[in-house]
Amino acid sequence: MRVCRSLLFAASAACSLLLAAGVGAASVTVQTEAGALRLTEVAQGLEHPWSLAFLPDGRMLVTEREGRLRVVTAAGALSQPLGGVPRVHAVGQGGLLDVVLSPDYATDQRIYFSFAQPTDKGARTAVARARLNLEALKLEDVQVIFTQRDDPSGGGHFGSRLVFARDGNLFVTLGDRYNHRDRAQDLGSHLGKVVRIRPDGGVPADNPFVRRAGALPEIWTYGHRNVQGAALNPATGVLWTHEHGPQGGDELNISRGGRNYGWPDITFGREYVTGFRIGEGTARADVEAPVKQWTPSIAPSGMAFYTGDAVPSWKGNVFVGALKYQMLVRLVLDGDKVVREERLLADQGKRIRDVRQGPDGRLWLLDDTDGRILRLDPL
């Protein structure tokens, strides 16, 4: 059975190579400030894809929010769902979420993934690691290494991006779970935080709140609403994040350890129903100001710093997917300042859930609208 399954997957991949060569591949020309590019559909048939990670052999791991993890070839062939994935709380924004490779994947074959873990009371964001058995298409030795202390009911605001720092520690972004926003300011709660843990789930000794009474030692930063984009700045190695505001107030932030990012006391956002202002204002001396804020909201998700050669003029830029406005946002930086924004693909009707730079130096996108993997190619 295992041999048959492998042969079928290999045959499917071989057939899909024709698409990669341009035979029947769906593509459209898009205009950008860098010139005309081709938006190519690499794969389809996914259901709410949430995250993409590249394997050393050019294949990809893709999560589907409903709880499936698949291997996808560079030509777009989808594997069957992998075995061994834990049960997830696939309600609202919850489910199987981010996936990243271990920094030592070449020797340990480990992956890390985040998911909404069901509990008796509701659900919580959890992080697990596992060994990836590609031949058997399954996860082995699955270990949950972190769980949020809070597990309220509902399906909103799980956050859930994973980023390995240069020192090997792991950043995890955690949402405020929507109805519990005041706990984003509570250092005794994991809600509305970015945490920093060791690869085994332990607490680094130099975390900012390790020695503060009443504070959870995993916390790196606090005062967040729902962080669904995170990436290391390749020039500095510092974590950048972005988060959803309510009506207005989506934020791009530099995540400096120990800092308060304001939510819900300091925000540009307003209440959904009434339009009333939230909190006490848009700035305060003890709160980190965003590098950029979007009002009206674009609903940002996924983020990547571009370092590739496919589009040389993009080097050093930040790319952010947008769900509500169905576009890809390019941000030009001058140091830690955003000096210009270009809005791409706004006429394509794609809810961009994730943005990754591939090993080929191109940008790869997950489209939540139609369950597709897309790639931006130079002409």
- Nearest CA-CA partner of 212 in 199, 222, 200, 198: 222
Question: Could you tell me the strand order of the sheet in which 68-72 lies?
Answer: 49-54, 60-64, 68-72
The yes-or-no answer on residue 242 being catalytic is: no
| Choice among 48, 89, 157, 190 that is catalytic | 157
In the chain, what are the domains? 2-378 (2.120.10.30)
Q: How many whole angstroms separate alpha carbon 140 and alpha carbon 79?
A: 17
pLDDT of residue 26: 87
Tokens 């669904």 correspond to: 228
Q: Tell me the one-letter amino acid at 373.
A: I
Q: Structure pTM? A: 0.93
pLDDT of residue 25: 58
- Nearest CA-CA partner of 229 in 87, 84, 101, 356: 356
Q: What is the mean pLDDT of each run of 10 residues along the chain (379 residues)?
A: 43 38 67 98 98 97 98 96 98 98 98 98 98 98 98 97 98 98 98 98 98 98 98 98 98 98 98 96 98 98 98 98 97 98 97 98 97 97
Q: How many whole angstroms separate alpha carbon 300 and alpha carbon 172?
A: 17
Residue 126, both tokens:
């959890």
